[in-house]
Amino acid sequence: MTVEPFSIHIPDSEISDLRDRLQRTRFAPEFANDGWQYGANGTYLQELLTYWANDYDWRAQEAEINRFSHFKTTIEDVPIHFIHEKGKGPNPTPIILSHGWPWTFWDWHKVIGPLTDPVAYGGRAEDSFDVVIPSLPGYGFSNPLTTPGMNFWRSADLWVTLMRDVLGYDKFAAGGGDWGALLTAQLGHKYAEHLIGIYVHLMAPLNLFNGDLPPASDYGPEEAGYYERNENFFSEESGYSAIQSTKPQTLAFALNDSPAGLCAWILEKRRTWSDCGGDVEKRFSKDELLTTMSIYWFTQSYGTSARYYYECLHNPWQASHNRSPVVEAPTGIGVFKEEVVLMPRRWANDYYNIQHWTEMPAGGHFAPMEEPAALVADIRSFYRKLRDGAR
Residues tagged active-site: 178, 309, 365
Which residues lie below 8 Å from residue 300, measured CB to CB, with a gap of 6+?
A: 143, 256
Are 143 and 301 in contact, with CB atoms under 8 Å apart? yes
Calpha distance 351→353 (Å, rounded):
7
For residue 144, cis peptide bond before it (omega within 30 degrees of 0): yes
Cα–Cα distance measured from residue 237 to residue 232, given in angstroms and rounded to the nearest whole number: 7
Give how far the C-alpha of residue 56 lies from the chain's centroid of Cα atoms, to the nearest Å. 23
Angstrom CA distances, 288 to 76, 104, 291, stand at 33, 11, 5
Closest among 102, 276, 272, 76 to 180, alpha carbons compared: 102
Burial (CB count <10 Å: 0-12, 13-18, 19+), residue 256: middle
Whole-number Cα distances in Å, 154 to 81, 313, 317: 16, 13, 10
What is residue 282's DSSP assignment? G
Rounded distance between C-alpha atoms, residue 251 and residue 246, angstroms: 10
Q: What is d(CA 113, CA 99) in angstroms, rounded to the nearest whole number?
A: 17
